[in-house]
Structure 1
Amino acid sequence: MSTIDQTIDVDVPVRTAYDQWTQFEEFPHFMEGVKEVRQISDTLTRWATEIQGVDREFDATILEQEPDVVVAWASVDGTMHAGRVTFEPLGPGRTRVTAHIEWKPESFVEKVGAAVGADDRQVKKDLHKFKEFIESRRTETGAWRGTVRDGHPMP
């Protein structure tokens, strides 16, 4: 199991950072290796990735989502992948975004990459791209303000 923890501060309000993160279909704009994310339902996403020449498709379910606080997910098939992203206001126009990701490298290349910290560096790079993306726009491309607990949307 590989665990990655990265944090970045972005110069936008917490609501803007959080709302953008809920726009999963926009992830390919700032996440290297993510070819496509489709939102199937409020809690189900379908991912297509290509990382180091390895193509993968998997579904992930949103386990927890609280506006302006957290988005957490886990894969439901394919590669074991889970994560949690938290949002902490640092003032009226600044937010700390913290990503905690766990995944199980499968191929030899993935295992070597995880061992030398390539996956950690990639998440750090993707968070920097997220920072550039949201700060250059100054506004989110959309938002989903619903709450999810234990994988179920709350009324």
Structure 2
Amino acid sequence: MSTLEEQIDVDIPIAAAWERLHRAETYPRFVEGVREARSEDGHRTRLDVDVGGRVQEFEAEITDRGKEHMMEWQTTSGPDLAGTFSLLPIDQEHTRVQARIEYDPGTVKEAFGGPKGFAQATAIERLVRDDLEHFKELVERER
């Protein structure tokens, strides 16, 4: 398994960032490739993802650790992916969003195509960084 960790600081309070992170229906606005997202029962999210021009459905199980402002997720269909989003208060009006993604490079290559090896890791890092930047733009614009 490979692990990727990225973070970004957003100019909104932690409670607002936490609430926005839980709005699955907004994922298409900041997560590259997600065409539609919907919460199933508060603990499951279904995502329709554009994979090489075709839409593939993924399901993820969500575990909230609200007091710690941590959301863990694990795919239950599609490629084996897992991750954690942690929110840390910087001060009353600013929050650090930390993303940790765990993936098997071979599985990602098989599911999504694209490069392998170092080029794949670089592409995934860039994708996660871009998604975090889009999240920042979205939440700061909506305040």
Q: TM-score range by the shorter chain?
A: 0.7 to 0.9
Instruction: Quote the Cα distance in structure 1 between the aligned partners of 2:91 and 2:7.
Output: 16
1:107 corresponds to 2:110: yes
SS in 2 for 1:112: coil
Q: Which runs of 5+ in 1 are unaligned?
A: 139-155
Name the residue aligned to 2:134: 129
The residue identity in structure 2 corresponding to 1:20 is R
TM-score, normalisation: structure 1 = 0.80
When structure 1 is superposed on structure 2, of 8-17 and 53-62 the one drifting more is 53-62
Q: Structure 2 vs 1, CA of residues 132 and 114 (structure 1 numbering), >3 Å: closer, same or farther?
A: farther
Q: Structure 2 vs 1, CA of residues 89 and 108 (structure 1 numbering), >3 Å: closer, same or farther?
A: closer
Q: In the TM superposition, what is the alpha-carbon distance from 1:134 to its structure 2 partner?
A: 0.4
Could you give the per-residue CA deviations for residues 5-62 of structure 1, whole angstroms, max 9, x where no partner exists? 1100000000111110011111001111111111110101111111444532111111
Please list, as runs of the form range in 1=range in 2, the aligned pairs for 1:1-155 lying within 5 A after superposition.
1-53=1-53, 55-67=55-67, 69-104=69-104, 105-107=108-110, 110=113, 112=115, 115-116=118-119, 117-138=122-143
TM-score, normalisation: structure 2 = 0.87
Instruction: Quote the Cα distance in structure 1 between the aligned partners of 2:67 and 2:23.
Output: 13
Instruction: Quote the Cα distance in structure 2 between the aligned partners of 1:26 and 1:101.
Output: 20
Q: How many residues align?
A: 138
**4+ runs of 1 displaced by more than 2 Å?**
51-56, 106-111
8 A contact 1:60–1:74 mirrored in 2: yes
When structure 1 is superposed on structure 2, of 100-109 and 55-64 the one drifting more is 100-109
> Which is richer in helix?
2
Percent identical:
33
Q: Which runs of 5+ in 2 are unaligned?
A: none
Q: Structure 2 vs 1, CA of residues 68 and 108 (structure 1 numbering), >3 Å: closer, same or farther?
A: closer
Backbone CA RMSD of aligned residues: 2.0
Q: Structure 2 vs 1, CA of residues 55 and 106 (structure 1 numbering), >3 Å: closer, same or farther?
A: farther
